[in-house]
């Protein structure tokens, strides 16, 4: 199981409560709140995380306004996946 946390210091300042108000597709194992209301994504493996990042990227492209909190949240989700050390190692192997 791969656990990736979305940093609240990103573009959107995303927390779990805010995320539940958006229509962003959920990862296969869903989003989970942390004690501090941060958002955690759970994946079976690195490939599943990469596939999900592509799905979120496609969704972001469908949004008309790139200044909305929802669009900024998609950016933070993709960034969190791309910066994960396990995902990076998987890509390099």
Mean pLDDT value of segment 33-62: 95
Count up the domains in the chain and report the number. 1
pLDDT band, residue 36 (cuts 50/70/90): confident
- Indicate if the pLDDT at residue 10 is higher than 90: no
| pLDDT average, residue stretch 44-48 | 98
Rounded to an integer, the average pLDDT of 68-90 is: 96
> Can you give the chain as a three-state secondary structure string?
CEEEEECCCCCCCCCHHHHCCCCCCCCCCCEEECCCCCEEEEECCHHHHHHHHHHHHHHHHHCCCCCCHHHHHHHHHHHHHHHCHHHHHHHHC
Find the domain containing 32 and state its range.
Answer: 2-92
Highest mean pLDDT among 3-12, 34-43, 78-87: 78-87
């Amino acid at each position: 199981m791969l656990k990736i946390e979305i940093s609240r210091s990103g573009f959107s300042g995303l927390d779990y409560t805010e995320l539940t108000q958006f229509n962003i597709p959920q990862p296969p194992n869903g989003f989970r709140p942390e004690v501090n209301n941060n958002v955690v994504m759970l994946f079976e493996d690195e490939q599943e995380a990469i596939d999900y990042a592509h799905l979120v990227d496609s969704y972001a492209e469908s949004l008309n306004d790139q200044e909305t909190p929802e669009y900024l949240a998609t950016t933070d989700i993709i960034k969190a996946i791309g910066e994960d050390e396990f995902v990076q190692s998987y890509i390099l192997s």
